[in-house]
């Protein structure tokens, strides 16, 4: 049996044919061109699905489900994208249209939820019952599996884990509040901390690392220069680890999952990220020393996580 995974982004849309073991058999992508009428974009998804299936010489009838991961607020019951600023969609009946065009059941969920399903079925969370996935990118996203079920809350609007107040420094958040988890722990926040430190430390090695051009600062700058023992960079990393560690301690105390899985580019830091985070968590988790702690790991599905996670949404419904 085959499944389709559709990973919707503001720039590109990736589509893959996936088997029941989570292996991608064939994949393709196209430019979103987000300003077009939504039905054109959905028709391009359909065309891409049909082309992949033809390429694999399989039958549309052998595709059991289409899973879609989309940014924004999704009503997963109806498969509607309620709102996403990445593509400027409002109340787009994505699942319904995809099913109408293909005859295949479609399941649309928030992209962080899709990623959590992927890691749970085929990645680091395989075989577990309770995991929390935190995706670190422009913002901070969250996906939660409780007792082997995707937890989404009413209107699929729960698990907005990036939007939990974390500190008191007053950073404004895209959601309208200040001081949300994502204002301290996203890649955007890491880059902001890095630039602030560079501005007050003209001798920092971070300036060399970015070729004297502060606009080339990215999520690696502070981590790489910290490895060179640059003091300012070490301070940036420590601040970032502190707040991300506090956010993960919150996750542990709220959900007490078996595993916290981190996704996003910063995970390339591997143990430079997870080791100090685990230490912070172990020192701060509720009831420390009385019951086992919660382990922190990085996600394993890599670049294809979006497609595999989306496909996993359908696999979970049909296996």
- Which listed residue (45, 65, 117, 161) binds a copy of itself by CB under 8 A? 161
* Closest distance of CB 70 from a copy of itself, Å: 14
- CA distances for 21 relative to 6, 108, 306, angstroms: 17, 20, 15
Query: Could you tell me the strand order of the sheet in which 73-75 lies?
Result: 73-75, 80-84, 89-92
Q: Are 73 and 82 in contact (CB under 8 A)?
A: yes
> Which of 71, 107, 108, 110 has its CA nearest to residue 89?
71
Distance CA 134, CA 262 (A): 5
User: Exactly one of 14, 109, 121, 163 binds a copy of itself (CB under 8 A); which one?
Assistant: 163
**Of 18, 1, 86, 74, nearest in space to 306 by CA:** 18
Query: Smallest distance, Å, CB 253 to a copy of itself?
Result: 4
Distances (CA, A) of 171 to 3, 58, 161, 167, 174: 42, 51, 17, 9, 10
Question: 60: which DSSP letter?
Answer: G
The footprint of a copy of itself on residues 274-303 (CB under 8 A) is: 283-284, 286-288, 290-292, 294
DSSP structure class, residue 267: G
Which residue among 28, 83, 105, 205 contacts a copy of itself (CB under 8 A)? 83
**x-or-dash pattern for a copy of itself, window 119-158, by CB under 8 A?**
-----------x---------------x----xxxxx-xx
Minimum Å gap between C-beta 73 and a copy of itself is 5
Q: Least distance in Å: CB of 145 to a copy of itself?
A: 12
User: Is the Cβ of residue 47 or residue 164 nearer to a copy of itself in the bound state?
Assistant: 164
Where do we find the tokens 């300003």?
35
Residues 207-236 that bind a copy of itself (CB under 8 A): none
Nearer to a copy of itself, 156 or 204 (CB): 156
Question: Does 176 interact with a copy of itself (rule: CB under 8 A)?
Answer: yes
If you search the block for the tokens 């599996």, which residue do you land on?
145
Which string of x and - marks every residue 40-69 that binds a copy of itself (by CB under 8 A)? ------------------------------
* C-alpha span between 249 and 241 (Å, rounded): 12
Asked if residue 246 binds a copy of itself (CB under 8 A), the reply is yes
Residues making contact with a copy of itself (CB under 8 A): 73, 75, 82-83, 130, 146, 151-155, 157-161, 163-169, 175-177, 179, 246-247, 249-250, 253-258, 283-284, 286-288, 290-292, 294
């Amino acid at each position: 049996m085959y499944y389709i995974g559709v990973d919707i982004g503001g720039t590109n849309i990736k589509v893959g044919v996936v088997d029941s073991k989570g292996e991608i058999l064939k994949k393709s992508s196209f430019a979103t061109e987000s300003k077009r009428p939504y039905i054109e974009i959905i028709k391009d998804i359909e065309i891409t699905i049909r082309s992949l299936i033809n390429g694999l010489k399989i039958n549309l009838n052998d595709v059991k489900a289409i899973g879609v991961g989309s940014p924004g607020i999704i009503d997963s019951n109806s498969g509607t994208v309620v709102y996403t600023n990445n593509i400027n969609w409002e109340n787009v009946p994505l699942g319904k249209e995809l099913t109408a065009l293909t005859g295949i059941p479609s399941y649309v969920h928030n992209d962080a939820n899709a990623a959590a399903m992927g890691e749970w079925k085929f990645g680091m969370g395989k075989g577990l019952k309770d995991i929390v996935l935190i995706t670190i990118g422009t913002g901070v996203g969250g996906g939660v599996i409780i007792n082997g079920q995707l937890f989404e809350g009413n209107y699929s609007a729960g698990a907005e884990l990036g939007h939990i107040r974390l500190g008191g420094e007053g950073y404004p958040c895209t959601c309208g509040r200040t001081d949300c988890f994502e204002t301290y722990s996203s890649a955007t926040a890491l880059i902001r901390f890095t630039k602030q430190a560079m501005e007050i430390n003209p001798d920092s090695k971070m300036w060399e690392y970015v070729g004297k051009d502060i606009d080339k600062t990215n999520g690696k700058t502070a981590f790489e220069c910290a490895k060179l023992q640059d003091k300012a960079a070490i301070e940036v990393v420590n601040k970032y680890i502190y707040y991300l560690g506090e956010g993960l301690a919150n996750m542990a105390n709220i959900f007490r999952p078996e595993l916290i899985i981190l996704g996003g580019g910063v995970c390339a830091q591997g143990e430079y990220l997870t080791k100090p985070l685990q230490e912070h968590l172990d020192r701060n988790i509720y009831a420390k020393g009385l019951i086992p702690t919660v382990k922190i790991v990085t996600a394993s599905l890599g670049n294809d996580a979006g497609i595999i996670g989306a496909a996993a949404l359908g696999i979970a419904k049909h296996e």
